[in-house]
Amino acid sequence: MFGDKTANKKIMSLKIAIQGAKASFHEEAAFKFFGREVEIVECDSFKKTCELLKQRKVDYIVMAIENSIAGSLLPNYNLLRDYKFHITGEVYLNIQQNLMVLPGVKLRDIKHIESHPIAIRQCEEFLSELEGVRITEGSDTAATAKMIAERKLTDTAAIAGTLAAEVYGLEILEKRIETNKKNATRFLVLSNEVIEHKNANKASLSFQTGNTVGSLATILQCFADQNINLSKIQSMPVIGKRNEYDFFVDVEWKKQTDYEAAIRKVLKHSINFNIMGEYVKNEKL
């Protein structure tokens, strides 16, 4: 999974930067991609993970990019654009949210629930049925679980994954409180260097178009003409330029020659075209 270049490096020596605390969903995603024999470097922000990779203090970043309920994490697209790291892989993680407390605490004792804003959004239906409970947005799901354990908070609950309950010794009061049970997050694996994958069948691309009628449609048709599946498209305003946008697309293919032909066509109609990464499609939940 790591590509020919990484295969020569002992997995034990790999340092993986994540946003969040130990036992967060980012750590679960990192373990799913690399295995557990890696060193996880916890960061309090996505920007911090990028700075560590830029300074080569870590080998990879695992970064959430979209959720099936909350949608795209737009600030992270800005980081992809600013830092220009290479995407070397992806991870899909089934997100199961749980309400957890110190052992012995009952639902009637809870006055305060804290978690990451996206986790709160994913559990809105459950939370709307609670009365007299204050909901607070925190920096991370696992970090809230850790805080409850360290401070021995008997009136506070966290929303987090089962790993957080195991690591921090909390009791799951209510399981699977996410509104949509088909709740999944896609994570990208980022590196400083291009890592070649012989069986690559997916790519993340970015480009701009001319400000003319049908310019984007022309580019999209180039993919369709070569039987390339467009699985994701995201637009972001170009900073400081009115009515100009960066387009981020994910494409998938069965024949490498079709993909290469599509790229040659798109190059003729796009501006600032960039292959952000070519990797193996991964949808295993």
Assigned CATH topology for domain 98-174: D-Maltodextrin-Binding Protein; domain 2 (3.40.190)
pLDDT in tens, the chain (285 residues): 554 444 445 555 899 999 999 999 999 999 999 999 999 999 999 999 999 999 999 999 999 999 988 889 999 999 999 999 999 999 999 999 999 999 999 999 999 999 999 899 999 999 999 999 999 999 899 999 999 999 999 999 999 999 999 999 999 999 999 999 888 999 999 999 999 999 999 999 999 998 788 999 999 999 999 999 999 999 999 888 888 899 999 999 999 999 999 999 999 999 999 999 999 999 765
Q: What residue has token string 């992806």?
A: 90
Secondary structure (3-state) at 260: helix
**Global pTM?**
0.89
Domain range list for the chain: 3-95+184-191, 98-174, 202-279
Give the CATH number of domain 202-279; options: 1.10.10.10, 3.30.70.260, 3.30.70.980, 3.30.70.270.
3.30.70.260
Token readout for 161 is 């994954």
Q: Is 176 left (phi over 0), alpha (psi -120 to 50) or beta?
A: left
H or E segment to which residue 188 belongs: strand 184-191
Secondary structure (3-state) at 249: strand
Give the number of other CB atoms < 10 A from CB of residue 208. Answer: 18
Give the CATH number of domain 3-95+184-191; options: 3.20.20.70, 3.30.43.10, 3.40.190.10, 3.10.310.30.
3.40.190.10
Give the number of other CB atoms < 10 A from CB of residue 90. Answer: 22
Q: How many angstroms separate the CA atoms of 143 and 139, rounded?
A: 7
Q: How many angstroms separate the CA atoms of 74 and 70, rounded?
A: 11
Domain 3-95+184-191 and domain 202-279 have a common topology: no
